Structure 1
Amino acid sequence: MSQTPPDSSRPSSPSRRALLGGAAAATFALAATASGAGAAAAHAGRDRPGRPGRPSWPTDFPLPNGFRPEGIAIGGGPYAYMGSLADGAIRRADLRTGESRTVLAGATGGAATGLKLDRDGLLYISGGLSASIRVLDTRTNRLTATYQPTAAGFVNDVILYGDRAWFTNSHAPVLYAVPRGHRRRGDDLREVPLGGEWEQAPAGSISANGIETTPDGRALIVVNSPIGKLFRVDPKTGHATVITLKGAENVINGDGLLRVGDTLYVVQNRLNLITVFDLDARARTATLRRSITAPTFDVPTTAARFGNRLYLVNARFTTPPTPETTYNAISVPLR
């Protein structure tokens, strides 16, 4: 679970003023002390961030021109990892300052879409049209594993479930699973075909996109973007059943999924909208609670949580991508 960073925004108590003789001297000392305390508080507000959601934490995170962000992951510390659809590069941003740096360089033909960070510091990366799966050790910033599924496709998003990381393929009705941790086995890459009530879009179109777990921890949730449906998937068999939506007709353009307890956040990218649902334990039904939008949304794709805020990357799919196109990540209250 994400942790709230310690409150370091509180200025220290002003020093005890010296006793000065006379009423005028006392008045002067009081004024000077108040002025000094006010300046210290202002300085602390600028340079010593407090808890997420306070004004001292930035809500906008500029990224390099042409970066084309698609995925975001946050662990227990105040750091976000963001992946590039352009070349597969990974950047690490400090949520307290907004500053970011490259921790994994990109490569021609590479891509980084969905990201998930495990407790041991391993970052699982889906490779988009490169159809690859990579594992980055964020403590050393070195790749520890690379997988290449036999079928071509668009490896889109990832979730950590059980002893494996599970990935969607947007161009084929199949899920991929690779082992978590540093140990490798002979059956490292597992492929689980989707069946049951699953609906696959025509070849070349996006189908399976974001992926999450059910509140009871017994199954997966997968969103099908073009038809706007959520599916409950048995990870052992791949059997999919439609999740009944209550209060909403669909989740068209559903992209990243984020579950907090029994609350599911569905990022609907081109609608510039996050739809919030209440799930029952087995995720058989999803009841609309509310929606979130903001003027800073510019086709957000995926979301991650830290403290009382959601952090999203703006993929800007409606803006032509060029080497000079500007990109950013943003945050909004969890609400």
Structure 2
Amino acid sequence: MRNSPAPIPSRRPRLGKTAAGLLGIAALIASAGPVSAHPRHHDGPDNPPDSIELPDASSAEGITAGRGSSFYAGDLFEGDIYRGSLRSGTAKEIIDAPDGRKAVGMDFSKRHDLLAVAGGDTGQAYFYDTDTGETVAKYQLAKAGTSFINDVTLTRRGAWFTNSLQGELYFVPIDRHDGDLGKARTLDLKGPASETPGDFNLNGIAVADDGRTLVVAHSAKASLFTVNTRSGESRLIRSLDLPHVDGIVVEGRNVWAVQNMINQVSRIRVSDDLRRGEVREVITDKLFQIPTTAALIGDDLAVVNAKFDTGLPPTADTYEVIIVDAFGED
């Protein structure tokens, strides 16, 4: 690993929008194929709603599970953070982000009430206190304009971030006892996951059950890879073809891979050694409109609509989280 700068003290930056990440999204939209829809809805008054609106959001992209039936979701281009509940069927803004921030992928630490957020083409990462809404720290992980910090996962030791334009990951240590954040480090990847043949490459990221192995989605390769957090060595999870793969969720041997431009989520069963995978179910819904990331909440999957098909930045009137069954017939 290489050392990166220490966290930047909180302040209100004013950063111009850079084009690299947006061009990558535009390329994905242009290459999207036909979309099929097989709606799957909840029945009965005791089940979660079909969708939960993010009030006054200008865009959307990331989501993560919170406590109980709650989730956190972000306004991609404004950087604001929402907290919602499957039980109440509502969401509200809890963090009004400083100007110039973005909110792409995110993950939540229940132990420390800490939300880690990837900052997209700013090259930054943010950590928020979800109780107070305050910024705990901001990191400049990579250079703005030549990077796209896309997603993040929390392990027992800290936060791992992907960069869609570079074959490297970034690690921010988090003290298990008091939640203090350490100095960021860069892990240069080796093997197939390190390659950057497309406009968007490394994308979603999650930690496997062993707590040491990462699973990363690679959009350009339509594949999933494992990454050794010590060596940076990567290995293909074989037998999978996942066009437009974006965010991922890992729970045991199940992996949910969101495939944005074809409006579906593939539920994958992986082998114990994470060397092979098999798609067991393709989840679609008539309410999906370019879903990007998902959160597993009980037996439900909360999937956020990015609506990139309306333009960049997107111009939809509303943005929402769609609730679908996470498990079907195995």
> Normalised by the shorter chain, which TM-score bucket?
0.7 to 0.9
Superposed CA deviations along residues 81-105 of structure 1, whole A, max 9, x for unmatched, are 1111111100111222222221111
- 1:124 aligns to what? 116
- 1:244 aligns to what? 238
Alignment partners' CA distance in 2, 1:322 and 1:277? 30
Alignment partners' CA distance in 2, 1:256 and 1:184? 25
Give the Å deviation of 1:325. 2.9
Alignment partners' CA distance in 2, 1:238 and 1:273? 30
* Aligned CA distance change for structure 1 residues 239 and 100 (closer, same or farther; 3 Å): same
- 2:192 aligns to what? 197
The percentage of aligned residue pairs carrying the same residue is: 34
Alignment partners' CA distance in 2, 1:167 and 1:234? 14
Secondary structure at the aligned position of 1:70 is classed as coil
Alignment partners' CA distance in 1, 2:155 and 2:132? 24
Structure 1 stretch displaced more, 79-88 or 146-155: 146-155
Return the structure number with greater relative CO, CA threshold 8 A, min gap 6: 2
- 2:264 aligns to what? 273
Task: Please report the RMSD computed on the Cα atoms of aligned residues, expressed in angstroms.
Answer: 1.9
In the TM superposition, what are the counterparts of 1:117-156 in structure 2 within 5 Å? 117-120=108-111, 121-152=113-144, 153-156=147-150
- 1:4 aligns to what? none
Superposed CA deviations along residues 108-138 of structure 1, whole A, max 9, x for unmatched, are 3211011111122111111111111111111
Give the gaps of 5 or more residues in structure 2.
Answer: 1-41
Secondary structure at the aligned position of 2:88 is classed as coil
**8 Å Cα contact 2:66-2:110 kept in structure 1:** yes
Alignment partner of 1:183 is 2:180: yes
Superposed CA deviations along residues 281-304 of structure 1, whole A, max 9, x for unmatched, are 231111221211111111111110
- 1:167 aligns to what? 161
Superposed CA deviations along residues 128-150 of structure 1, whole A, max 9, x for unmatched, are 11111111111111111111124
TM-score, normalization by structure 1: 0.78
The correspondence for 1:319, drawn from 295, 302, 310, is: 310
**8 Å Cα contact 2:205-2:217 kept in structure 1:** yes
Give the Å deviation of 1:228. 0.4
Give the Å deviation of 1:190. 0.9
Alignment partners' CA distance in 2, 1:132 and 1:238? 21
**8 Å Cα contact 2:161-2:205 kept in structure 1:** yes
* Aligned CA distance change for structure 1 residues 286 and 135 (closer, same or farther; 3 Å): same
**8 Å Cα contact 1:53-1:309 kept in structure 2:** no
**8 Å Cα contact 1:93-1:99 kept in structure 2:** yes
Alignment partners' CA distance in 1, 2:271 and 2:105? 26
Give the Å deviation of 1:322. 5.3
Give the Å deviation of 1:309. 0.7
Alignment partners' CA distance in 1, 2:215 and 2:72? 23
Alignment partners' CA distance in 1, 2:289 and 2:314? 16
Alignment partners' CA distance in 1, 2:255 and 2:79? 28
**8 Å Cα contact 1:215-1:281 kept in structure 2:** no
Count of aligned positions: 278
